[in-house]
Amino acid sequence: MPVWLREYSWRQTGSAVYLSLPLRGVRVPPANICCADQYLKVSIPPFLFEAILYAPIDDTNSTAKIGNGIIFFTLYKKEVAMWDSLTLATANKEKLQYLRENAVLKAHEKAKEETKAKKVTKQEHKKYALEATMKLEEAERKRIEDLKEKERQKVTKELALWKKQQKDAEKQKRVQKEGELHQEVEQLKEKKKEKINKTRIPNEETSETRLKPTKGHGSYSMFSENLKEEQLPAPRSAATIKINFTSRVFPTALRESRIAEEEEWLKKQAEAHRDGERLHSREFIDSLWGFNLINKMFAMGNYLAAVNAYNLAVRLNNKLPLLYLNRAACHLKLRNLHKAIEDSSKALDLLTPPVPHNEHARVKAYVRRGTAFCQLELYTEGLQDYEAALKIDPKNKTIEQDAEKIRHLIRGTIQDS
């Protein structure tokens, strides 16, 4: 049963009423207050105050303050007047019930309107934030486009300047070469003139002597003037033309239909070689992933922390097989067998093509996946992985012994069935 608050004090002015509700000996919590134009209700369990006011008030601007064990109301009157009392003395139960229901209904409507107004305000704020974000993105996009345009213009100018420089250099070389050729031609002409002069002097002498009649002959050769030695041009200088052939990795001839396949194979070989070097480079692992710290977690038995560390490392670089191998070992310790199988398979996918650099890593991947299969009682699949590991490392006695144990388990299972 609620305890009705009967003690209160109030005073008034022409425009407002000041009401104080004391709560002695009780720590005043936030109260449930319902205020209508002529109805006031305060619920502070176990206390209850209810009053039908003498005249209507402005419930929108009226206020209530809680402090020092007192609830203080400031109620503003709708009409400026002095009240004879705080409450309406002649109120009967029916009127009280009507006012109470009307006040509750108005309170619900008011709360609904406030909720609706808050929703509208929130939508407006959201719309404004979206518009502001779109403006910022548009400005950023425009800024980036301007930067791209400036960079494009800069590169275009540099390219044009470079082309002009190349053209000028080629022109200068061509002029220089033409000059050298002209000089060589002049030298050849001079040499030819010298040779002609040297051959012309003896020919003239012989022609003169031949014009004279010889003893025993009464005539001379009429073709003596044409007996000049014909001058031939000098032979061209010998030269060697150097021919370079494109180097080729494959022993077969190049075919256009096989170019893509060969390039893919060479790319995989390079990646496998690079991954093999990374597997043998502890400095790379230490600097990139904190490998020593994760090993300490694993050695201390904190396998879950090691798994979380490897998850972060995989997000940073999902092409490193060693991360999947070590995470598979952690999953084996945590009995997450399906995840261990998944990580071992992923490591094997990344360790292709098989090269000498990744043999040790492939053996680990097959052994860990085979162990997970055996712990799931899938002995046939586990034996296949152990045999695959033995093909890579046939001298490993431990793997050979484990494979023999799995064979005995499979034989025992077949005999029992």
pLDDT, tens only, 182-193: 888 888 888 888
pLDDT band at 200 (very low <50, low <70, confident <90, very high): low
Q: Work out the average pLDDT over 6-35.
A: 79
pLDDT, tens only, 367-404: 999 999 999 999 999 999 999 999 999 999 999 999 99
pLDDT score recorded for residue 54: 82
Q: Reply yes or no on whether the pLDDT at 281 is more than 50.
A: no
Q: Work out the average pLDDT over 2-18.
A: 84
Phi-psi region of 290 (alpha: psi -120 to 50; beta: other; left: phi over 0): left
pLDDT, tens only, 256-276: 787 787 788 777 767 766 655
Helix, strand, coil proportions of the chain in percent (round to 5)? 60, 10, 25
Q: Output the CA–CA distances (angstroms, integers) from residue 12 to 7, 15, 16, in the order listed.
A: 17, 8, 6
What residue spans define the domains of the chain?
Answer: 3-91, 113-204, 267-416
pLDDT band at 290 (very low <50, low <70, confident <90, very high): low
Whether the pTM exceeds 0.85: the reply is: no
**175 residue type, one letter:** V
Output 69 or 217, whichever has higher pLDDT: 69
Q: What percent of the chain has pLDDT over 70?
A: 80
pLDDT score recorded for residue 228: 47
pLDDT score recorded for residue 216: 45
Q: Specify the CATH superfamily of domain 267-416.
A: Tetratricopeptide repeat domain (1.25.40.10)
pLDDT score recorded for residue 231: 61
Tokens 């936030």 map to which residue?
30
Residue 199 near residue 228 (C-beta atoms within 8 A): yes
CATH of 3-91, one of 2.70.150.10, 3.40.800.10, 2.60.40.790, 3.40.50.720: 2.60.40.790
Helix (H, G, I), strand (E, B) or coil at 22: strand
pLDDT score recorded for residue 387: 94
Token readout for 196 is 């002609």
Output 354 or 234, whichever has higher pLDDT: 354
Backbone angles phi, psi at 222, to 5 degrees: -80, -10
pLDDT score recorded for residue 372: 95
pLDDT, tens only, 328-352: 999 999 999 999 999 999 999 999 8
